[in-house]
Amino acid sequence: MPDTRPAPAAAATTESQIAVHWREEEYFKPSPKFVAQANLTDPAVNERFAEKNFPECFNEYAEMLTWYERWQKTLDTSDPPFWKWFVGGKINASFNCVDRHLAKYKNKAAIITVPEPEDEDPVAVTYQELFVRVNEFAALLRDFAGLKAGDRVTIHMPMLAELPITMLACARLGVIHSVVFGGFSGEACGLRAADSGSRVLVYMDGYYRSGKLIDHKASAEIAVATAEKEGQKIDKVLVWRRYPGKYASAAPMVKGRDVFVDDVLKDYCGARVDPVPMDAEAPLFLMYTSGTTGKPKGCQHRTGGYMAYVTGTSKYIQDIHPEDTYWCMADIGWITGHSYIVYGPLALAATSVIYEGVPSYPDAGRVWRIAQRLDVNIFHTSPTAIRMLRKAGPDEPKKYHYHFKHMTTVGEPIEPEVWKWYYHEVGKDEAVIVDTWWQTENGGFLCSTKPAIDPMKPGSAGPGVPGIYPIIYDEKGEEVKAGSGKAGNICIRNPWPGIFQTIWGDRDRFVRQYYAKYNKDPKSKDWRDWPYFAADGAVLASDGYFRILGRVDDVINVAGHRLGTKELESACLTVPEVAEAAVVPVVDEIKGRVPEIYIALKPGYAPTKEITDRVIATLETMIGKIARPKRVHIVPDMPKTRSGKIMRRVLAAISNTLDTGDITTLANPDIVEQIRVAVQGKEKLKTQEGPEDLKQFGTVD
Ligand code: WT7
């Protein structure tokens, strides 16, 4: 029976709580057709991964891989919270994603790249071709660049096949890769290269975005200079060319330092490099979190446990089979791309699609044309992208003949309104949806429904995935019970194989930031005393489903009442004309903070006072008078990061006349001044020193 009762109104809230006004949603069931073909249909999985079988339950995931030597111990807890997984095991990630599929699948596509220009055809790289290219590039890395196991390499590349080829070549040698999102600046790349101690950078000369061939190599100059300023010398910059033989950048090639990969590769034609059997605990890669403030954190992921976790969750939660054509629209420069474009899908011998460009280029039908042409059947993207697609072309999906069996949403809470559009329009009422909650630090999914077993509930991620035991604590460390209607801090009680090993070079920060808060005894060697603190607010319904409310510091304290920005935004989106909403706090003498709303409208609607009034009325009815905004601004577009996240920090700065800070990494920096003029007037007001919570708002690193 669906639980359709409204969540109980939160009683007087304390600092640790976020008031919860979400209405419970109806369940949706997977179709019998989906269930009939799914990898995981036996509910006994819950029993197999129950706490009494922990940690050995995770052997089931490790056994999906091919090992040189089997592990002796599943989990070693002797140095908490630095857990060790599959101790004594020897494995190579590149072998598992490439070589082991040759016998059965060598002529099957491993990767299909879709160039942004629509007159360039998609390119399929078979497993055999991937094998050849990974081997040859690994030979180049080893023999030309002098790299060996344990060295670090920083990779700053766009979404083309050469990026996973570079990663898999590193993994073949045991070289630790650190991929920096292609849309980041050269400076960001240089800082990360310096932090990781990389002396080799791998670049691409250029790539297409919104119809323009971007000069990407130019950013390498800045990266090298920045790294050197930080004390890290860069000896080599290896430059792939978007069109081999034709240099797409105006930046000079520095003699002795820069080389074209396609030139040097000629010397390694036919080379084969034996994969290096790595210790299960050897680091596979670093992934820097995309914080806009503070020093970037290099999340260090291990080889064995990470590979086991992404393979197991790709099989059970993404329902990937070797026959599937799987398209995750994330960028490989984020953890989602590492786990669920490259390592998970390829370990399962799937076909993984990589699209070079902008989803809405040249028009709102592009994504669906790609899905139709490649006959994609598993689709994976974020609420931001879904909102963007809905805004650009709400009726586009039905014009194209594609059929998804499975869709994923990840990265932020999805508003039920948007979920339903995804389900009905994009999924055509056929596809199952999983809302997967996790973080860069986690390696793979933490909460999600099991697609053929658990019903879906719009806006809720679901229960912990197999072997993950989440819990909600209040500020004092008391458990917040299911069905109480109260929110708190979601934590994971147990270690799991995908959890990162540490922050590169900063063990103290690792312990402080993720474990100190709820650690029961710093001397304890029992994992039960070391809950992992995720810094997200969440509420647990009586059906065991977690609803994620966003980062714990993304809240607005109105007269002592903590409002989750997400639920306000979700309410705004029920007004039919509204495509996107962002809520920020503004200083109010009486209430402390009050919300201020930014909205962008769907195409074809002009801003009117009538829409503004309806947004206010909706907030008052859905949340209460407490949520009445100071002002509602209708803007042409939101300031967004290159990965599509709305920069609430920038909007909060405009609303409060604070300094907007660094906006150079935005996808659309010009919009900031337009919004500023609309909100503050033409004349530039003198920026003020804001209170700490406003300066911190939306800047969680
Ligand atoms: C933060 C992690 C690894 C996924 C990509 C983002 C938010 C992530 C969900 C979801 C609600 C979500 C959380 C989390 N988040 N997935 N399904 N529902 N919120 O990785 O950049 O490390 O961000 O994204 O707030 O802490 P990330």
Roughly what angle, to the nearest 10 degrees, separates helices 186-196 and 218-229?
A: 40
Q: How far is the CA of 287 from the centre of ligand 1 (A)?
A: 15
Q: Give, using CA atoms, the residue closest to atom 8 of ligand 1.
A: 411
Tokens 């337009």 locate to 674
3-state secondary structure of 365: coil
What digits encode the pLDDT tens for the residues 254-268?
Answer: 999 999 999 999 999
Q: Report, as ranges of residue numbers, the positions in the chain whose pLDDT lies below 70.
A: 1-22, 290-295, 553, 559-560, 562, 691-693, 695-696, 698-701
- Alpha-carbon distances, residue 540 vs 226, 482, 483, 567 (angstroms): 45, 5, 6, 15
CA of 153 to the centre of ligand 1 (A): 26
Pick the atom of ligand 1 nearest to 548's CA: 11
Q: For residue 335, which atom of ligand 1 is closest to its CA?
A: 3
Residue 436 Cα: closest atom of ligand 1: 17
What are the strands of the beta sheet with 546-551, ordered from one edge?
A: 470-473, 487-492, 532-540, 546-551
Rounded to the nearest angstrom, the distance between the alpha carbon of 647 and the centre of ligand 1 is 15
pLDDT in tens, 36-59: 999 999 999 999 999 999 999 999
- Strands 351-355, 325-328: pairing is parallel
Helices and strands counted in the chain (H then E):
22, 30
Q: If you measure from the C-alpha of residue 548 to the centroid of ligand 1, how many angstroms do you get, rounded to a whole number?
A: 9
Here the contacts of 244-247 (C-beta below 8 Å, separation 24 or greater) are 247/205
Establish whether residue 413 lines the binding site of ligand 1, counting it when its CB lies within 6 angstroms of any ligand atom.
Answer: yes
Radius of gyration (C-alpha) of the chain in whole angstroms: 24
Omega prior to 362 cis, within 30 of 0: yes
Ligand 1 centroid distance, CA of 440 (Å): 8
pTM for the whole thing? Answer: 0.86
Q: How far is the CA of 382 from the centre of ligand 1 (A)?
A: 10
Q: What is the pLDDT of residue 298?
A: 95
Instruction: State the pLDDT at residue 598.
Output: 97
Query: What is the DSSP secondary structure assignment for residue 246, as one 8-state letter?
Result: B
Q: Which of 439, 441, 513 to mutate to test the pocket of ligand 1 (most atoms within 8 A of CB)?
A: 439
Q: Angle, to 10 degrees, between the axis of helix 670-680 and the axis of helix 648-655?
A: 30
The finding on whether 570 has its CB within 6 A of some atom of ligand 1 is no
Cis peptide before 636 (omega within 30 of 0): no
